[in-house]
Structure formats: structure tokens, C-alpha cells
């Protein structure tokens, strides 16, 4: 495999994996927990999910795939409910699937093509890297919040107790 192919494959796989982990978290939470905020300075888990979808559409849909930029970033953070858990989950799954498809369709030669996203001029490869990093950071927040709210073990690393585990990437 080429370096470019490894980058594309890993980026796609990581976004799918992180999205699945958010799905596990959402399945353990109530509507009240998903939209809970202790102060106006905090984001609820629901806001973070909406934010991730907006970020994916803007950076990958627009920046990498060339689709129109339809993001309403402030709305992601201003929402105080209205979208149920199943709606959030389905929106995230659909948006991740679209982003993964766009990433997997980028020809290796185009990874260094400069695109403009949020007033940044960057190579497509950097836009993809930014999105995966950003998605991982917020997934960690959702996992942490879920553990605080439920006290549950989420089971993401129980396979490590088995000496024959086969997961390719943590």
C-alpha cells in the first residue's frame, strides 16, 4: 500500500470507529442526559454531536468534496434539545458515511490540492487530518461525559484482556 492509501483508509476507518463509540454512548443515555448543561458555557452531548456533523459537512463535504458550504455553526451550539437520541444517531451515521465516501474518493494526487475552509487555505490531506483529530477530541468528551453520567464501563477496550485480540487500531 502507498502512504496515501494508508492515510485514506485509516482516516475512514477511524471516523467510523469513533462514530460507533458515540453511538454506544448515546444508547446508554436518556434524552435529559444528552441535552444536559450545567451552565451556558457548556455544551451538551447533543450539541457536540450536531457540531461534529457540521464540522464534517464543512471540512469534508465542502472542503474536500467541493459541495456547497451550508453550515450554520452557531445553531449547533445554540440547540437546547429538539433532536432526540435516535435523530442524533441517525444524523451522525449519515454524515459520517457521506464523509467517509468523500474521503475514500480522493485521488492520491489530490491530497496536496489546496482548499479553503473557514478562511484557512490548506491541503485536502490537512483538512482530513484536522477532521479526524477534531472528531476524536469530541468523542473523548462524549465518552467521559457518558461515564460520569452513567458510571458504566463502555467496553471499548475489554478485548485487550484477550491475548488473541485482533483489533487493528485502538
For 113, the 3-state DSSP assignment is coil
Q: What is the pLDDT of residues 56-91, one digit of tens each?
A: 999 999 999 999 999 999 888 888 888 899 999 999
C-alpha to C-alpha distance for 97 and 88, rounded to whole angstroms: 14
Q: What is the pLDDT of residues 97-113, one digit of tens each?
A: 999 999 999 999 999 99
Q: Is the pLDDT of residue 133 over 80?
A: yes
Class of domain 3-161: mainly alpha
Q: How far lies 82's CA from each of 51, 60, 91, 131, 150, in Å?
A: 15, 26, 13, 26, 22
For the chain, the average pLDDT equals 93
Task: Give the number of other Cβ atoms within 10 Å of residue 125's Cβ.
Answer: 19
Q: What cell was used for 114?
A: 489546496
Q: What is the pLDDT of residues 4-36, one digit of tens each?
A: 999 999 999 999 999 999 999 999 999 999 999
Note the pTM of the prediction, 2 decimals. 0.92
Task: Give the number of other Cβ atoms within 10 Å of residue 28's Cβ.
Answer: 13
pLDDT at 41: 85
pLDDT at 107: 96
- Domain ranges within the chain, ordered by starting residue: 3-161
Q: Looking up cell 452513567, which residue turns up?
A: 150
C-alpha to C-alpha distance for 157 and 88, rounded to whole angstroms: 25
Amino acid at each position: 500500500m502507498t502512504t496515501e492509501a494508508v492515510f485514506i483508509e485509516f482516516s475512514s476507518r477511524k471516523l467510523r470507529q469513533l462514530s460507533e463509540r458515540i453511538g454506544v454512548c448515546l444508547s446508554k443515555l436518556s434524552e435529559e442526559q444528552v441535552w444536559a448543561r450545567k451552565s451556558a458555557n457548556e455544551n451538551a452531548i447533543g450539541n457536540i454531536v450536531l457540531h461534529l456533523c457540521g464540522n464534517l459537512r464543512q471540512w469534508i463535504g465542502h472542503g474536500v468534496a467541493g459541495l456547497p458550504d451550508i453550515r450554520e455553526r452557531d445553531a449547533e451550539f445554540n440547540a437546547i434539545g429538539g433532536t432526540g437520541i435516535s435523530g442524533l444517531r441517525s444524523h451522525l451515521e449519515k454524515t459520517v458515511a457521506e464523509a467517509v465516501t468523500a474521503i475514500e474518493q480522493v485521488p492520491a494526487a489530490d491530497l496536496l490540492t489546496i482548499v479553503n475552509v473557514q478562511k484557512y487555505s490548506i491541503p485536502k490531506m490537512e483538512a482530513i487530518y484536522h477532521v479526524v483529530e477534531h472528531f476524536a477530541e469530541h468523542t473523548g468528551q462524549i465518552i467521559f461525559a457518558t461515564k460520569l453520567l452513567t458510571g458504566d464501563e463502555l467496553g471499548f477496550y475489554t478485548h485487550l484482556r484477550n491475548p488473541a485480540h485482533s483489533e487493528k487500531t485502538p
